[in-house]
Chain A
Amino acid sequence: DAKTTQPPSMDCAEGRAANLPCNHSTISGNEYVYWYRQIHSQGPQYIIHGLKNNETNEMASLIITEDRKSSTLILPHATLRDTAVYYCIVRLTGTASKLTFGTGTRLQVTL
């Protein structure tokens, strides 16, 4: 699986958009980009994933560059409850592929 690079920490004011970047320059054509978050040692929570098109769900939007070498997770209106460690993971499709967690980005949402 391709390696990802994320900033170790970010701050965001409550109510503003949080934009979390991820670099995955060695991603291959059959690898998806997944985002999870972990709030204070709870089990990781799935957020969103995508292959090449931008994706949006009730939690967030995922913007993937045209060359697929980087992506951005967008939380449109961050709240204090969004304070967590966010993991960007590149993963092969198929049922046998595992998740390899890096160190993630610690997002702190402040008043």
Chain B
Amino acid sequence: SAVISQKPSRDICQRGTSLTIQCQVDSQVTMMFWYRQQPGQSLTLIATANQGSEATYESGFVIDKFPISRPNLTFSTLTVSNMSPEDSSIYLCSAQRTDTQYFGPGTRLTVL
């Protein structure tokens, strides 16, 4: 398995501001992913983050709104930019080891 931590675990932010979420994996992995889970909904993939290349975004998600960094094989960040109340969600990162994805505990974001 993989041990994944996220910071912050939760935050309350004001409309129009930005928040950067950090994801740390306990060992090197090639593929990392960022998901969003809106209240009462299932998980939706935002983007795939590969080290040394641009993140690949899913339909409906854009780099200007959700910039991602992947500076090395154990770390990634997701920024939620110019936030609105509709961005209130749980944001989860995951990492793939062999054929399995493992998830972090999530960051619960509330935008007022």
Point out residues on B near A: beta carbons under 8 Å: 1, 4, 30-31, 33, 37, 42-45, 48, 90, 92, 94, 96, 99-106, 108
Contact B45 A45 (CB under 8 A): no
Please tell me if the beta carbons of A95 and B96 are within 8 angstroms of each other in the complex. Answer: yes
CA distance A45 to B96 in the complex (A): 13
Set B42, B48, B90: member contacting A104, Cβ < 8 A: B42
Contact B43 A41, beta carbon cutoff 8 Å = no
User: In the complex the two chains form, what is the Cα distance from A58 to B108 in whole Å?
Assistant: 30
A: number of interface residues (CB 8 Å): 21
Residues of A within 8 A of B43 (CB): 44, 99, 101
CB within 8 A of B99: which of A32, A98, A102?
A32
Of A32, A41, A45, A99, which contacts B90 at CB under 8 A?
Answer: A41
Q: Are A95 and B31 interface neighbours, CB within 8 A?
A: yes
User: By the criterion CB–CB under 8 Å, are A101 and B42 in contact?
Assistant: yes
Q: Which residue of B lies closest to A99 (CB)?
A: B101
Residues in B neighbouring A32, C-beta threshold 8 A? 99
Asked if B1 and A99 sit within 8 Å, CB to CB, the answer is no
Within 8 Å by CB of A46, from B1, B33, B42, B44, lies B1
Q: Are B42 and A43 in contact (CB under 8 A)?
A: no
B42 lies within 8 A of A103 (CB):
yes
